[in-house]
């Protein structure tokens, strides 16, 4: 795409950015929570786009200036400096064009949300529960490295170790947009601690990543909810096991059930359970959007198909393979210890390539 054409596409965005800047200071808009949040997000997205646009304009001008110097300058040293400047600009221009093209494509509006993650042990019995526990620790350490906060909603421990299932919320910046790539079936190949013959077994755990719904995303009638109160089980000492603090919410129209037992306070558990319930109801509609994406893309990146095998963790070979993009690395100990950013980066690159194809820019 020619520079002039690309800049023409950005002309209207400047005035829109200025308009939103004025709107988000309007008391009437601030009072309308849903509209204010939506406009604030649009403002941040456009701000990033216009910053890239400004750098693009400056780089184009720098290239023109360097060309002019090369044509008119007689001094050898100045010509060398101009030549180097032109080379740097010409290398930077196509990269900035790609950035602008991607920023022009509407992003998933859910990307900036917090996430609710559910890990369930699948096939493999006790070993699957142990692996689910390994995955939880992997994500906990990754989130810690990102400065994100984790809160456990509920869990059921495995017989030997780990979890039959664990549900937790991750809060921070662009959490869902980063962790959505983890939805799917994770397969592990290793010798279980319970194996006496030293044979490699294959087990699996399922990870589901849901965007956390805001209060205004979903309206739930109190009359549609049945609330059960019961004693929590698991770690936490006597007060957890003897106090009726655990909450189970059943949404009667959809049959969706959630529970929270991690807090000692019944009120806190109910608040966390409501967030999860709201998110699960919201996700029923959001899944249609993911299915629509899946029908358009060849890769299975962030399509939300949670029955698909997405990654294999092979302990004997210290290998991790992400099957969606045929990406293999041999650093399993550090990966399972939370060093998963490189793999996520590769998935983002693959998805961005698909988005560019879809947009036909």
Q: Report the distance separating Cα 117 and Cα 312, nearest Å.
A: 19
Q: What is the pTM of this model?
A: 0.71
Sign (positive or negative) of CA dihedral 88, 90, 95, 99: positive
- Asked whether 150 and 212 are in contact (CB, 8 A), the reply is no
CATH class of the domain defined by 115-213+298-359: alpha beta
For residues 85-98, give the mean pLDDT.
91
Q: How confident is the model at residue 361 (pLDDT cuts 50, 70, 90)?
A: very low
Q: How confident is the model at residue 240 (pLDDT cuts 50, 70, 90)?
A: very low
Q: Where in the chain is the domain with CATH 1.20.58?
A: 3-104
Which H or E run contains 150? strand 149-157
The model's pLDDT over 98-142, given as tens digits with 9 standing for 90+, comes to: 888 878 877 777 888 899 999 999 877 889 999 999 999 999 999
Which SS3 state, helix, strand or coil, does residue 161 take? coil
The model's pLDDT over 137-178, given as tens digits with 9 standing for 90+, comes to: 999 999 999 999 999 988 888 888 899 999 999 999 889 999
Q: Report the distance separating Cα 199 and Cα 217, nearest Å.
A: 49
- Which of these CATH numbers, 3.40.50.720, 3.30.160.20, 3.40.190.10, 3.30.230.10, describes 222-285? 3.30.160.20
Q: Where in the chain is the domain with CATH 3.30.70.1660?
A: 115-213+298-359
**Per-residue confidence (pLDDT) for residue 232, from 0 to 100:** 65
- Asked whether 161 and 131 are in contact (CB, 8 A), the reply is no
**Per-residue confidence (pLDDT) for residue 102, from 0 to 100:** 78
| Helix boundaries (H) for the chain | 3-23, 27-31, 33-72, 76-104, 126-146, 175-179, 238-242, 266-296, 332-336, 341-359
Would you say domain 3-104 falls under CATH 1.10.3680?
Answer: no
């Amino acid at each position: 795409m020619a520079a002039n054409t690309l800049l023409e596409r950005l002309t209207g965005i400047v005035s829109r950015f200025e308009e939103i800047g004025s709107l988000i200071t309007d008391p009437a808009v601030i009072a309308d929570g849903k509209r204010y949040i939506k406009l604030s997000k649009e403002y941040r997205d456009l701000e990033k786009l216009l910053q890239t646009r400004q750098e693009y304009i400056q780089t184009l001008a720098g290239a023109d200036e360097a060309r002019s110097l090369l044509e008119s300058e007689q001094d050898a040293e100045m010509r060398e400096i101009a030549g180097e400047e032109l080379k740097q600009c010409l290398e930077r221009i196509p990269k900035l064009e790609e950035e602008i093209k991607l920023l022009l494509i509407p992003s998933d509006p859910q990307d900036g949300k917090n996430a609710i993650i559910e890990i369930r042990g699948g096939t493999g019995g006790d070993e699957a529960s142990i692996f689910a526990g390994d995955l939880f620790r992997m994500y906990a350490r990754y989130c810690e490295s990102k400065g994100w906060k984790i809160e456990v909603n509920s869990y059921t421990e495995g017989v030997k170790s780990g979890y039959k299932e664990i549900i937790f919320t991750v809060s921070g910046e662009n959490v869902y947009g980063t962790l959505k790539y983890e939805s799917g079936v994770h397969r592990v190949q290793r010798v279980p601690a319970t194996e006496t013959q030293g044979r490699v077994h294959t087990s699996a755990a399922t990870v589901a990543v849901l965007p956390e719904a805001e209060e205004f995303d979903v309206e739930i009638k109190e009359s549609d909810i049945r609330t059960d109160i019961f004693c929590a089980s698991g770690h936490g000492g006597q007060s957890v096991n003897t106090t009726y603090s655990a909450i189970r919410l059943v949404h009667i129209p959809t049959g969706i059930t959630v529970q929270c037992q991690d807090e000692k306070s019944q009120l806190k558990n109910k608040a966390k359970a409501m967030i999860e319930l709201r998110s699960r109801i919201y996700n029923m509609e959001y899944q249609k959007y993911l299915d629509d994406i899946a029908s358009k893309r060849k890769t299975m990146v962030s399509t939300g198909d949670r029955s698909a095998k997405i990654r294999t963790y092979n302990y004997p070979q210290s290998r991790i393979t992400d099957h969606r993009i045929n990406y293999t690395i041999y650093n399993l100990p550090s990966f399972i210890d939370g060093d998963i950013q490189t793999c996520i980066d590769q998935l983002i690159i693959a998805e961005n390539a698909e988005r560019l194809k879809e947009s036909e820019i």
